[in-house]
Structure 1
Amino acid sequence: MNLLVVIPARAGSTRLPCKPLRLIAGRTLLHRTIAMARAAIAGRAGVGLIVATDDEAIADHARMAGCDAVMTDSAIATGSGRALAAALSLPQAPRFVVNLQGDSPFQPEGALAAVIAALEAGAEVATPVIALDWASLDALRDHKTRSPFSGTTCVRGVDGQALWFSKAIIPAIRDEERLRAAAPLSPVWRHVGLYGYRLDVLQRFEACPPTALENLEGLEQLRLLELGIRIMTVAVDPPRFDSSGIDTEADIARVERLIAAHGDPTPDL
């Protein structure tokens, strides 16, 4: 196996207990993430898919959905740590590991393929971003009045390398009215919860303790930047409807309203 896609799915979420098994319009969050991942990697040789969890009920649910599952230590604090544990549990470790966050089931079409392509082109770490138009930026601002730590933005260089990520909306925009009149896209990029790593880079990352800035923002990718590891961001088109990660009851209600209005983007298993 050249590449392993791992869906970390731990039970212990303080804001949304047993989050992977929570229903969204009649289907669990984990079921939706598995279906999205399976559709994205269909037909690709040398790519595996597995759920990494610390809860037997979640593992059983994954297997009922037809996905392999592995039990990982409940003390592992991050999705990337759980992804690494899953990769190292295999008889032969893969060259690349993708951490497909289990609380982001509505990924843009093509995001996983774009991350894989960036890794194969030499990126140490790759992750997708979406350029927000002004209406999407307005919607994100409104959403953050209710869920300030849901949704992550990214500042990137002209070469695509990430400069910073934040739960705040960055960059600040001076002379916004003029910029709105000049172009349909805002200067804000929204980060998509999908990371691809070269295995040795992921091992280096996990060998280092969390940093102060990582703890303040609650974003593990900031540790990579502080370690001097370059993160290639790949621009992808928006999904059918704009949805950040599922972190709160309000997020579930919002996504259910979107599904009711625009249809369900999750493919059948």
Structure 2
Amino acid sequence: MTARQAPAIEVRGLEKSYGKSRVLRGVDFSVARGGIFALLGSNGAGKTTVVRILSTLLKADGGVASVGGFDLATQPANVRESISLTGQFAAVDEILSGRENLVLVARLRHLSRPGKIADDLLERFSLTDAAARKVSTYSGGMRRRLDIAMSLIGNPPVIFLDEPTTGLDPQARVEVWQAVKELAGRGTTVLLTTQYLEEAEQLADRIAILHEGRIIVNGTLAELKRLLPPAEVEYVEKQPTLEDVFFAIVGGERKSASVRTEK
């Protein structure tokens, strides 16, 4: 297998315990370059622990892993240069403007033309109109988009998004989903942890379910759906919902099956 074909992330037998509590019990998965991989699980399943280990913030008790072609145990500095991590809460300075946040990070990374880098990212994440505003005035979705934009400064080939839409309203969540899709479209490898089933369904090329410290299933959405018996189609009559009434009154477009009322 050539370096170009090798997975962006490869994990084999990852283990981690806290005292007598075994959080990870031999986790195995790989992530293709340029793909979106969703690690799905409930609170306490070990998702954040996996991300912290892969981003070199935490040492594993056992197993091997590579990120960006670099061994996690023997080449941690190379791993850190290849990744960016966006945690569960936006790490932005609310006193500064959106543009100032981006310029600051670019300067800290000793990159040339930090203003140009900031302007490009503001345009890419649809934040140009709010560039001069203090981040304290941003909505939740705008803050999260800015946070992701900041993590892309320096063009890391791999980005970890640890539950990026936690606490966001539905509209803000959709905004973040679009930003993540654009990342992958530009060739960035994304490992996404989430507890939202719809989020994994909307974004991921492959989905792994982490349960009690183990990956219990791993595949595409279509492959996971084939694990269940074929759906039985039943005809059910229903009354119009308030949503149906709303769209009928305001004349908005709605793609749905026609609704029959009971006689």
Q: TM-score, normalised on structure 1?
A: 0.26
Q: TM-score, normalised on structure 2?
A: 0.26
Larger Rg: 2
